[in-house]
Amino acid sequence: MGALVLATVLSAGVASYGWRYRDEPSGRWFIALTVSAGCWSLFELSFLVADSPDARFLWFVLESVPAEWSVFFTLLFALEIAGYERWVSRRTAALLAVWPVLAITGVATNALGVHALLWESLSFATVGGITATEVVPGPLFWVDVAYSYVAIGAALVVLGIHCLRSRQIYRKQALVLFVAILTPAVVGSAYLLSPFMPANPIAVSFAVTSSLFAVGLSRYRILDISPIARDLVIERMADPVVVVDRKGRLADSNPAARALFDGSPSSLGSPVADVFGAETASALEAGGELRVVDDNGEARHFEVDRSAVTDGRDVVRGHLHILHDITERRVRERWFRALTENASDLIFVLDADGSVTYLSDSAAQTLGADEDPSEVRSLKRFLHPDDEDAATETFREALERPDEDATAELRFRSSTRGWRVFGVRCRNLLDDPVVGGVVVNAQDVTDRRKHEQQLETFANVVSHDLRNPLNVAAGYLELVKEADRPDPDHVERIEAAHERMGEIISDVLALARGGTVDERETVSLDAVAAEAWTNVETGTATLDTAGSASFAADRTRLLQLFENLFRNAIEHVGDGVTVTVGATRDGFFVADDGPGVPPADRPKLFESGFTTADDGTGFGLAIVRAIADAHGWSVGYEDAPGAGARFVIRGVEHAGDAAQDSTPASSDDA
């Protein structure tokens, strides 16, 4: 009886301890199992101490209830804790519960005399103060025994597999549960073969089972989620997992971690620094980021998620490290950084006070701060003094309206190109946890503003320069209409006005073409120059060719270039001018023997509308520059040897060996 009392008390204690895990499926089945086992022991104890046959018979019948359900709960608990919870569904539980319900109903109806399927006869005899039960089992008794041992056998099989698959503490957990469930099964088998005591030894054996459960709960924490879910969660995780005890020794690792660090199960218990290296051990201890070079020599980056592992007394026993692979994120960050650093736009990030917290490489190089961009704390020294107020106002608007972009056009000083106009867009991302600042994107719009000025020039030409000859032609046309006999001079004036408008329109169209040249053909310098000469009214002027070369160009536009240079020489020098065309090492030149261009006028030579001739349009040299730019060439002015003007086109790739310039080479060609 003492063993039954011990079994009842231990089962109650174990069940109460397991109550804290009632929210977990395995915890619920464990509580039900230990309560059933305790009730079985209690009912058997009550059976033995009963003082009448009727009372004994009642406890004998009631004992079947915990006996049947303990088998049912044992199987479900074993499936759940061994990682086969997918088999423990409501449907499965309902199917497995069919036989216990039928068996308990059969016991009740057998006791009422409805049938004799479970036992044919039942009697109690007391000999020497010991009550013995004599039972003649019926056919369903053996069916019930078979069901019970099949269920218990299945539970032992899944626990055995779980024990073989697990390692270290988890194997000990499975082994404790295996022995705890095996003990009643072995005792029951022996009792069926040869009854050896008055009490049911299975109920007595629960003292051993409950003791093992207590050891499993206290020492091996069989209901803690970490060891229960280890095989399903940690072993199968793609992320490496490392468990380190409080002495810095490797307590556990999953296959992903062992593959990453080339570790082995035999390394358990060794210092982490010896297993993974001092650098890795330090990174695990500090958390943050870890860099590992794999077998292919490629660096992989991991973010270490470090958390303490505590026992039931909240004492830290070690730390769990989950390594999240962030290699792809680092690659994207490098890609984004390379994208921003190599972008032509200037990118800044300012804090709420307007101080610079980030400066892209393009910004540092453009502004001349690439020596040490980290020392740049303010953009004021790069701003044009006249634009400081506009910049302050734009920044203030960005702070006040975080949902809208604040825009402005500001001038920044380029380290190589002087003052440049930038279209600035500010976006307030101070509340963004990743950025935490005001992002400023500045795009160079200087060339666009020049093009807009060109458009304005074209508009002025249309509205002013064309209007003048048009008015002249209209005035003389009225005189012609009013006269009986038109004055030939009036007709000539009208013709001259139309010619003037034609020249202006041609020049404007030539300038408007701009762009780049896509289709080219191989041309000969002397041949194109000779053809262009015939397209210009040269009068008594002469053309001299000093060497030739072949190169790829748009022939039509190249003709326009030469025509404008020839016309420019004739307009500014006179009909008797001698124009010389020749090849240079990287291009060609057009020179005349006139007085040259005064130094004061040279900076404006290639600007649209600038001319020193009374009848010039001011577009000739601007057209020359536009055509050169479209080819990817450059054009410049220099004094010709002796006297005169010399225009040199550079950046031309010759198709063959260029003829040597018979005139002395310019300083740019040396």
Query: Residues 423-450: pLDDT tens digits?
Result: 889 989 888 877 788 888 888 887 787 7
* 421: phi then psi, degrees, rounded to nearest 5: -90, 130
Domain with 392 in it: what CATH number? 3.30.450.20
Q: Domain end: 225, 257, 283, which one?
A: 225
Domain with 114 in it: what CATH number? 1.20.1070.10
Same domain, yes or no: 574 and 610:
yes
Same domain, yes or no: 106 and 193:
yes
Range of the domain at 168: 1-225
Same domain, yes or no: 193 and 308:
no
The answer to whether residue 116 sits within a structural domain is yes
Same domain, yes or no: 320 and 387:
no
Domain count of the chain? 5
The answer to whether residue 666 sits within a structural domain is no
Same domain, yes or no: 160 and 253:
no
Same domain, yes or no: 57 and 174:
yes
What number of residues does the chain have?
670
Alpha helices in 98-137 (DSSP H): 98-111
Mean pLDDT, to the nearest integer, of 78-92?
A: 80
Q: What is the DSSP letter of 577?
A: -
Q: How high is the pLDDT of residue 225? A: 41
Query: Of 6-20, 193-207, 459-473, which gets the smallest average pLDDT?
Result: 459-473
Q: How high is the pLDDT of residue 236? A: 63
Q: How high is the pLDDT of residue 102? A: 94
CA torsion through residues 464, 466, 467, 469, sign: positive
Rg, C-alpha atoms of the chain:
50
Same domain, yes or no: 529 and 463:
no
Pairwise CA distance, residues 30 & 21, whole Å: 9
Q: Is it the case that residue 614 has pLDDT exceeding 60?
A: no
| Whether the Cβ atoms of residue 307 and residue 320 lie closer than 8 Å to each other | yes
Same domain, yes or no: 50 and 161:
yes
Regarding pTM above 0.85, the answer is no
Same domain, yes or no: 529 and 486:
no
The answer to whether residue 669 sits within a structural domain is no
Q: Is it the case that residue 664 has pLDDT exceeding 50?
A: no
**Contacts by 291-295 with C-beta closer than 8 Å and gap 24+?**
292/260, 292/261, 294/260
Residue type, 197: M
Q: Is it the case that residue 65 has pLDDT exceeding 50?
A: yes
Rounded to 5°, angle at Cα 546 from 540 and 547: 140
The pLDDT > 70 percentage for the chain reads 80
Mean pLDDT, to the nearest integer, of 446-467?
A: 65
For the ranges 147-156, 378-387, 458-467, 554-563, the maximum mean pLDDT occurs at 147-156
Same domain, yes or no: 98 and 240:
no
Pairwise CA distance, residues 594 & 490, whole Å: 35
The answer to whether residue 664 sits within a structural domain is no
Number of H helices, E strands in the chain: 22, 19
Same domain, yes or no: 572 and 469:
no
The rounded Cα 42 to chain-centroid distance in angstroms is 63
List of residues 6+ apart from 157 with CB closer than 8 A:
none
The answer to whether residue 662 sits within a structural domain is no
Same domain, yes or no: 305 and 417:
no
The answer to whether residue 205 sits within a structural domain is yes
Q: Is it the case that residue 256 has pLDDT exceeding 90?
A: no
Q: Residue 628: is it exposed, middle or buried by C-beta count within 10 angstroms (0-12/13-18/19+)?
A: buried
Q: Domain end: 225, 251, 278, which one?
A: 225
Domain with 460 in it: what CATH number? 1.10.287
The answer to whether residue 373 sits within a structural domain is yes
Pairwise CA distance, residues 665 & 650, whole Å: 13
Q: Is it the case that residue 228 has pLDDT exceeding 50?
A: no
| Whether the Cβ atoms of residue 261 and residue 323 lie closer than 8 Å to each other | no
Over residues 295-344, the pLDDT tens digits come to: 677 788 888 888 887 654 466 778 888 888 877 777 776 766 666 566 66
Q: Domain end: 443, 458, 488, which one?
A: 443
The answer to whether residue 663 sits within a structural domain is no
Over residues 164-214, the pLDDT tens digits come to: 776 666 677 778 888 888 988 888 888 888 776 666 778 778 778 888 877
Domain with 556 in it: what CATH number? 3.30.565.10
Is 357 or 513 the better-scoring residue by pLDDT?
357
- Listing DSSP states for 444-504 in one string gives E-HHHHHHHHHHHHHHHIIIIITHHHHHHHHHHHHHHHH-SS--HHHHHHHHHHHHHHHHH
Pairwise CA distance, residues 29 & 13, whole Å: 16
